[in-house]
Structure 1
């Protein structure tokens, strides 16, 4: 038997025997063993047992609770019984959700940490020549460990920087797992495809996955670090912003774009071109910064432009400061990428 399987079997037996021991303690020593000990046992079980054994333990706790109630254990009052039953239902539901996305026991938590670290690594920008820098800030909804927003970047021949900012549908762990898969695939496409072919290829890849919640928006920018010329295209994504340092204004780079990725086959993108002079900044962002229920999208965009003007114009900060200035609600993932020419 595999070592991990043996450890799981031992943990299962220990927890099942502990449930029996707790019931005996509740029956014989109610002053020292309260029925709430069952709740502690379930919390421990969630982190060590796989779904099948978690169900076995839950059923055993319910049977033991019924036995204590039937035998007239003094501490088993109706309210306590109801709480134990509810806790078993909640524990099994939580365990089932983890099982659905492939997380089982303590190793599943280590896998979550690894997924988060890998997703962060895919968003690292290669070292850039003097005079160029990229500042990014990605925050998840409700400060969850995973975000549905991610960035991939590649530097070709030391002079062509390409960045894609992607907003995957959904939130939380499910979106995080999809983001990890897409970031790896899109990172490979970004370095292998001509710039005009990246978004259509990304759309084909997403359609091939056949996910039930399988669409994403994306903006793709390519910057010539020798001349400052840039090319940008989008798929269902909010338009980038261009801060002109010399003129002191912010323009919307009006990418007409295509439908979101993963919706229809054969998308066609309409790219826009521009030029970053010294001091200019190109802003890429996701809709969590500008779109909120019950508010106008244009107002959200004006708020972002105002924060960018206050922070980036006088160079008082970077992406984190702009996010703080926007003060967007934390009920959606938010991402901001600044491509700066010093």
Structure 2
């Protein structure tokens, strides 16, 4: 098997990393001089975090340079402190740490990902996911829409994601909840979001969920199902149609009665479970009148291990009642009131009309 090419993986070395290597080598040299000059007063303990930092943040060649300098310094200073009983122990511990970091680095090389490149890739993908879910700001006068997506436990990635698009006077929003949570679900979200955003632009509203289902089935994931709710709103008339794939029902706020009404009849199957004619996704039509609002959410907003779903929905709608007259920030306030707190990914999307 061919050995991975490290230069291609790591790419150009940033100036900041060169400066970091120089700084670490200066610290190693200063520690060595101090140990040789004042062996009873200076410890080479500062080299320990140097070794760890080099293994975690530097490119391969730089890491090995720092490791070599650290090892040489430790052997030299240990030879001058033979009466120090901690020297053999520290040398052995640092040797084990270096070997572990080298093993991790070889694993990263085999995968073709350097530490800096891997982190950069994840940050870039996360930013792309957020960009795909950014609701267009050029809505007609009197129309508003906003979203709030909160990962479980404050993680950087969420299994809930939104894709949004606007063509002419039509606003399309699809809120998706991928199975699992945290980083595992987040990586699936990163993969699906780009595909679903393309499908949103390329298909008619009634075709979006079947197309998303077919795409997810083609991935062949053993536990790769997802739920989704998709709404298409005509911004001229307020007419909308909504479809669901195993997702909690969207809710329509009627300004005339001041009531939130779940939109029944959109109980489609989960995405990624059934194929062909077995996967049916019924759609329901409605209209947003002046003062009305439409609320989409994921199950993390209403689920709680100590309460049933009906209580969760009532709790959410109570928060929505309090938020509906307060204008911008409505989605954040509803999301923050989730019964489960931060134990699950949560997402809320609100569309309203003045």
CA contact (8 A) 1:15 1:45 kept: no
1:134 aligned residue: 145
Which range moved further: 86-95 or 283-292?
Answer: 86-95
**Structure 1's 292 and 41: CA in aligned 2 closer, same or farther, altered over 3 A?**
farther
The reply on whether 1:46 has 2:56 as its aligned counterpart is yes
Q: What displacement does 1:116 show?
A: 1.8
Q: What displacement does 1:136 show?
A: 0.7
Residue of 135, 151, 157 corresponding to 1:146: 157
1:225 aligned residue: 235
Q: Where in structure 2 are the equivalents of 1:1-342 lying within 5 Å?
A: 4=10, 7=13, 29=39, 31-35=41-45, 37-49=47-59, 74-76=85-87, 103-126=113-136, 127-156=138-167, 158-266=168-276, 267-313=279-325, 315=327, 317-326=329-338, 328-342=340-354
**Structure 1's 314 and 81: CA in aligned 2 closer, same or farther, altered over 3 A?**
same
Which range moved further: 133-142 or 316-325?
Answer: 316-325
Q: What displacement does 1:176 show?
A: 3.0
Provide the rounded CA distance (Å) in 2 between the counterparts of 1:25 and 1:151.
Answer: 58
2:4 aligned residue: none
Deviations 1:37-63, CA, capped at 9 Å, x for gaps? 33442233212246xx89xx7xx98xx
Provide the rounded CA distance (Å) in 2 between the counterparts of 1:83 and 1:242.
Answer: 63
Aligned-pair RMSD on alpha carbons?
A: 4.2
Provide the rounded CA distance (Å) in 2 between the counterparts of 1:34 and 1:248.
Answer: 71
CA contact (8 A) 2:242 2:266 kept: no
Tell me the TM-score normalized by structure 2: 0.77
Q: What displacement does 1:33 show?
A: 3.5
Q: What displacement does 1:318 show?
A: 1.4
Provide the rounded CA distance (Å) in 1 between the counterparts of 2:316 and 2:221.
Answer: 32
Q: What displacement does 1:169 show?
A: 2.3
Tell me the TM-score normalized by structure 1: 0.79
Q: What displacement does 1:106 show?
A: 1.2
Deviations 1:53-86, CA, capped at 9 Å, x for gaps? 89xx7xx98xx99xx8xx88522587x6897699
Provide the rounded CA distance (Å) in 2 between the counterparts of 1:296 and 1:93.
Answer: 48
**Structure 1's 173 and 324: CA in aligned 2 closer, same or farther, altered over 3 A?**
closer
Provide the rounded CA distance (Å) in 2 between the counterparts of 1:86 and 1:264.
Answer: 51
Structure 1 residue matching 2:312: 3-state secondary structure: helix
2:3 aligned residue: none
Structure 2 residue matching 1:165: 3-state secondary structure: strand
Deviations 1:109-145, CA, capped at 9 Å, x for gaps? 2222211221111112222111211111111122222
**Structure 1's 205 and 311: CA in aligned 2 closer, same or farther, altered over 3 A?**
same
CA contact (8 A) 1:122 1:183 kept: yes
Q: What displacement does 1:260 show?
A: 1.8
CA contact (8 A) 2:32 2:44 kept: no
Which sections of structure 1, spanning at least 5 residues, go unmatched? none
Provide the rounded CA distance (Å) in 2 between the counterparts of 1:303 and 1:146.
Answer: 26
